[in-house]
Amino acid sequence: MKLACVSAVLVVVVVFLPSLSARSGELSEDYYPLMVGSHWEYRSAVFGEMSMSIVGDQDILGVTTRVRRQVLSDQVFENYWSKDASGNVFLHGAVNFTYPFEAAYVPPIKVVEPPLFLGKAWVTNGIRGYNLDGTPWDDGPFDYPLRVYTEGVLAVPAGDFYSYGVGYDTPFGYLLTSRQGTFDVLGRRVAASQFETDNATEWYSSGVGVVQSCDYTDRQYAFKLVSFELPSVPTQAITWGRVKSLYGSD
């Protein structure tokens, strides 16, 4: 496996939204629900449909992780997640079933660090790559910095959600390259020239998850949330307007 430095990056992250933002008095936020049975459907005007599901558990280098499977028109891949008591969400690795690719990250990449707010930034330092059998890559360690670039109500087909747009915090980002092509850290095969830099690529809403994903400057390429189902909460989307009305906010 080879680590490539490019001038733009795709970052995939998620969040949820059953209540108000932390700065509005919410006691806890779940930007990345990981309950088995959770399911999200997205649509892009350019790329068509995408589905995302939490399907079970997987051991990654001795750590039990939750499996998120993503199905696009051209590929199927999985990524492996955990969450600590503070709500931090970590990416441990990925596998692409269409274009042979596998990766494990030590330490795992911190994708979400709650609470989110505009301008917040964090970084995972000294990440080393491995195959899933524990074989280390020849490449040296890399860092993965993220920043919250946007905050506010985002309109998607599933409704209006108070969301936080998170993206890679540098004009240069690391992609993973092999004889099978170029991949982001989530295991998605990508074209490196398509990536956006220093801007949001994933929009999270607490209690819902990822409501929009886009690595292009032109937002017509974005995958926008159409519907979602979470096993421990009502399946109907809770919009920011509905939440505000519960609290009597303007």
CATH number of 2-247: 2.40.360
Residue 26 near residue 18, CB atoms below 8 Å: no
Contacts of 96 (CB under 8 A, 6+ apart): 75, 76, 77, 102, 180, 183, 187, 188, 189
- Rounding to the nearest 10 degrees, give the CA dihedral for residues 106, 90, 142, 100: 80
Return the percentage of the chain with pLDDT > 70, whole number. 77
Write down the pLDDT at residue 28.
56
Is residue 207 predicted with pLDDT exceeding 60? yes
Residue 11 has a pLDDT of 31
First and final C-alpha spacing in the chain: 52
Confidence of residue 229 (pLDDT cuts 50, 70, 90): very high
Both tokens of 82, joined, read 């955990």
Kindly give the pairing relationship between strand 48-60 and strand 189-190: unpaired
d(CA 33, CA 14): 8
> Rounded to an integer, what distance in angstroms lies between the CA atom of residue 214 and that of residue 203?
9
pLDDT of residue 173: 55
User: pTM of whole model > 0.85?
Assistant: no
pLDDT digits (tens, 9 = 90+) for 9-57: 333 333 333 333 333 333 358 999 999 999 999 999 999 999 999 999 9
In the chain, what percentage of residues exceed pLDDT 90? 63
Q: Where do we find the tokens 């051991």?
A: 59
Whether residue 245 has pLDDT greater than 90: no
Q: Average pLDDT, whole number, for the chain?
A: 82
Whether 145 has a pLDDT exceeding 60, the answer reads yes
Higher-confidence position of 246 and 175: 175
